[in-house]
Structure 1
Amino acid sequence: MKTKFYTLLLSMAAIPVFSQVGINTTTPQSTLDVNGNVIIRQIPQGSSVSGYQVLAINQTNSEVSRLDAALLSGGGSTVNSSVYAARKASGAVTLLSLGIFPSGFQAVNFVNAERTVGQASLFSDTDNTYTVPSTGVYAIGFYFRYGTGIQGALITDAPGVGIVRTRAGVSTVIDSRAFSGANLGILSLTISESSVNSMYPLQAGDKISFGLTGSSFLNASILSTSTSSFYIYKISD
Structure 2
Amino acid sequence: MKKLKFLLILITVCCAAVSGFSQVGINTITPLSTLDVNGNISVKVITLNGSGAATLISDGVYISINPQATDQEFQLPSAVTYPGRMYFIRNINNTYTAKLTSAGGMIFPKGSTTGSAQIYMWEGNRRSVIVVSDGSNWTYFD
TM-score by length of 1: 0.26
Q: Which has the larger Rg?
A: 1
Greater relative CO (CA pairs within 8 A, separation 6+):
1
User: Could you say which structure has the higher strand fraction?
Assistant: 1
TM-score by length of 2: 0.38
